[in-house]
Structure 1
Amino acid sequence: MTDEVHRSYTSGDETAHMSRFPILGACVLAALLAVPSTAAASPVDRLDARAETAPNYDDEAGGDADADDPAIWVNPDRPAESVVVGTLKNGGLTAVDLRGRELQHLDTAPGGRFNNVDVVGRYAIVSDRGLDRLRVYRIDPGAGQVLTEVTVPNPPLAFSTDEAEVAEQHTAYGLATWAGPEGGAPWVVASRRNETRLGLFRLAVTPDGVTYHRKAVLDLPAEFAVGGGTWTPCLEPGERPQVEGMVVDRTDDVLYAAQEDVGIWRIPLSRKGFGKPVLVDRVREYGRPAVYDEETEECTPTAPPPPEAGTHLSADAEGLTIAYGHRRTLLASSQGDSTFARYDITRDGLRYRSGFAVADGRVDSVEHSDGAAVSTTPLGRAYPNGLLVLHDGENTPDDGRTNTNFKLLDAGPAIGR
């Protein structure tokens, strides 16, 4: 790797200057980069997707791919040739163009399972849930292949202490990148599957490739004060309320993290680690008593939601992404009712503005979405207002086989300009 790595980084849609990522030293080559849902509380806009990716099947008929989380790489020279990168879990990683056509597919390492992805500059960072590692891929569409892995040959474990613990699959899960206010190597925030833990990792380049070092951890609550007592989300035995959807607001250096059965947290970030978390919105199921049925493997509510419950999100709270413009808009997936919430980001947190759903139109609707990514950079005639990419958990037509994919939308109507 060369100093070209420095010059390629971006923070959101803006290209970062090389001065933001200085050389770290002579020996360093460069500095690198839940429960049953309820009806929507208010009317939502009905939007149409403009394109979609190919279906991904995960069943006994031969498929082993399950779409989950997208990220957008904006081509600074030819915006209309920008690339969407998406995780396919056991199926690895896909790169597609703005029509949804696959440009490249990469398999996982044996035992790997790619969960979430985020883009920083010309690099895609992936959480390998199967092996409890982070993976780094260089993006270079002009080189004959879009993605090239540049991770060190033996990357460190993200959360586990040894391979025996990896087998328990309490591993790297959700993921978001953060440039950091002081420059230098970028950071990654990863969550731990089936736990409340978040880890803050710093990336670095070595002669053997890109590695990372965990600098801090934060454990979010698993128990909450409700109605004069305490409430714990109903989950399978051995599980704690996990986080998956995350995004860093580059303006304020704040992490927004969706704890699936709880709500959205606002967490300041600094080079010292995590600041004090504040729960800025709650799911509709927050505080509602329920019991787990081992036979059905589902939770059955035993009482109505309490006054503390939220009104905009139906569990699970999932994919988060931020659109920048004359205002900052956080989009959040309300997976339980297949809608999305729009929030204005304020000095104190979030202010709910409105919601939307993706209906059947040019392509089919979006259901039970996990991941989301948005860019407000104009990407040619097809996406003059920017691009929103959403995971679709129930792609149709399905030919009798459940399948998943990604939908591509004009960002303007989704943001609600």
Structure 2
Amino acid sequence: MSSSLALALVPLFLAAPSATPVLEPTAVTQTFGDPADADDPAIWVNPANPERSVVLGTLKEGGLAAFDLSGRTIGTYPAPAGPTPDSKPGRFNNVDVLGDLAFVSDRGRDRIRVYRVDEHGAKDVTNPRTKPVFSADETEVDEQHTAYGLAAGTVGGKDVVVTSRRSETRIALLQVEKGRTVDTKVVSTLDLPKKFKLPNGKTWQPCEEPGDDPQLEGMVIDSRAGVLYAAQEDVGIWRIPLRAKGFGQPVLVDEVRTFGAPMKFDEATEECVADGPNPGFGGKWLEADAEGLTLLGDDMLIASSQGDSRFVLYRRTGSFKALSDFKVAGVEHSDGAAIVTGKLNLLVVHDGERPDGTGFAFLRR
């Protein structure tokens, strides 16, 4: 916690519980609209000149964008088309950076796309023969239970990617294979719970659209500790030990406020609505959906509380504990966040509800 950005956040820990500090962005990107809908950021730090670092952001069917530190767009890279005119097109969901490589979950085609990043932007270096992560064939890909959330890291000396499956509780661990092009291959999967035993002895299952299970999206890897943190949107945050070839036993370390609350799907509004009083088994900090996760320093975690447009700061070492929260002025319903400290002190968050679309907000200290 020695960087200026980390120090700037320290007063938030001391704020009164009723007071949520609001931080002002230092820059914002252009606005994007459907189908180029902004979603998740990542930061590449230029080792030669941090002031020429690059922020990446996924734009769903619009592909991937690269920005300079003032928020100016320096490049856009389209998502690939499907194998036939009737196939679903590429749709980039989440992005993470490891070294000079950016890994992107292509939820449209169920692949992990890989880009090499420098100060001029990004270049696609994905192995053209890379296989779907979860789907057995291209027909199953078009059913869209595909790669969704994503995190990259190094565990046991191996570069790895973890991705979740859209509309399901499954996550997959992939090892990175580098050559002239870069590939990722699945080495293990883990199915997180769909139902939960409550303190009153009842079994609770989160409300979802018919046919869907409670999916995960926001994820981050603590490479030093060998731990994956994963946000199950309507459930809470999981801490999962991570090895180069598999997952350890997951532990739910914080729940959303509506954890255990009876809800039902309203077909008229296509939303889940309350179906009885909240029994109070949930946590105090996260308003569903629990979304983007990013690591701050050696012992902190930032999580997006998307339902009420806040960000929650946790101590992740020792006993996992929420410390405080904050908002970013003008940012609503954030999906993703990324932070780096040291030579470059920068927090980037997704802004999910601008009047004319979506984009990203930058905070530098």
Deviation at 1:180, TM superposition (A): 1.2
Deviation at 1:42, TM superposition (A): 4.0
Partner of 1:114: 92
Work out whether 1:219 is the aligned partner of 2:191: yes
Deviation at 1:94, TM superposition (A): 0.3
Q: Residue 72 of structure 1 aligns to which amino acid in structure 2?
A: I
Work out whether 1:51 is the aligned partner of 2:27: yes
Structure 1 residues 77-226: aligned runs within 5 Å = 77-110=48-81, 111-141=89-119, 145-181=120-156, 183=157, 185-207=158-180, 209-226=181-198
Partner of 2:324: 354
**Native 8 Å contact 1:115 1:174 kept in 2:** yes
Deviation at 1:206, TM superposition (A): 3.9
Q: Gaps spanning 5+ residues in structure 2: where?
A: 4-15, 82-88
Structure 1 residues 2-401: aligned runs within 5 Å = 42-58=18-34, 64-110=35-81, 111-141=89-119, 145-181=120-156, 183=157, 185-207=158-180, 209-226=181-198, 227-324=200-297, 327-348=298-319, 350-359=320-329, 365-379=330-344, 386-395=345-354, 398=355, 401=356
Q: Gaps spanning 5+ residues in structure 1: where?
A: 1-12, 14-39, 59-63, 360-364, 380-385, 413-417
Deviation at 1:305, TM superposition (A): 1.8
CA 163–151 in structure 1, closer or farther in 2 if over 3 Å, else same: same
RMSD: 1.5
Partner of 1:405: 359
1:102 and 1:125 map into 2 onto residues whose CA distance is: 19
1:216 and 1:351 map into 2 onto residues whose CA distance is: 29
Deviation at 1:41, TM superposition (A): 7.1
1:151 and 1:330 map into 2 onto residues whose CA distance is: 30
TM-score, normalised to structure 2, is: 0.91
- 1:224-263 per-position Cα deviation (integer Å, ceiling 9, x unaligned): 0122110000110010000000001122110000000000
2:172 and 2:66 map into 1 onto residues whose CA distance is: 27
**Native 8 Å contact 2:134 2:165 kept in 1:** yes
1:211 and 1:114 map into 2 onto residues whose CA distance is: 17
More strand by share: 2
1:264 and 1:230 map into 2 onto residues whose CA distance is: 19
Deviation at 1:347, TM superposition (A): 2.5
SS in 1 for 2:139: helix
Q: Paired residues, what number?
A: 343
Moved over 4 A (4+): none
Deviation at 1:57, TM superposition (A): 1.0
- 1:98-150 per-position Cα deviation (integer Å, ceiling 9, x unaligned): 00001111001111000000000001000000000000000122xxx421111
Deviation at 1:328, TM superposition (A): 1.7
Deviation at 1:295, TM superposition (A): 1.2
- 1:297-328 per-position Cα deviation (integer Å, ceiling 9, x unaligned): 0111022222321110000000000011xx52
**Native 8 Å contact 2:54 2:118 kept in 1:** no
- 1:178-222 per-position Cα deviation (integer Å, ceiling 9, x unaligned): 2113x2x40000000000000000010245x11121000000000
SS in 1 for 2:353: coil
Paired-residue identity, %: 54
Deviation at 1:43, TM superposition (A): 2.5
TM-score, normalised to structure 1, is: 0.80
SS in 2 for 1:164: helix
SS in 1 for 2:164: strand
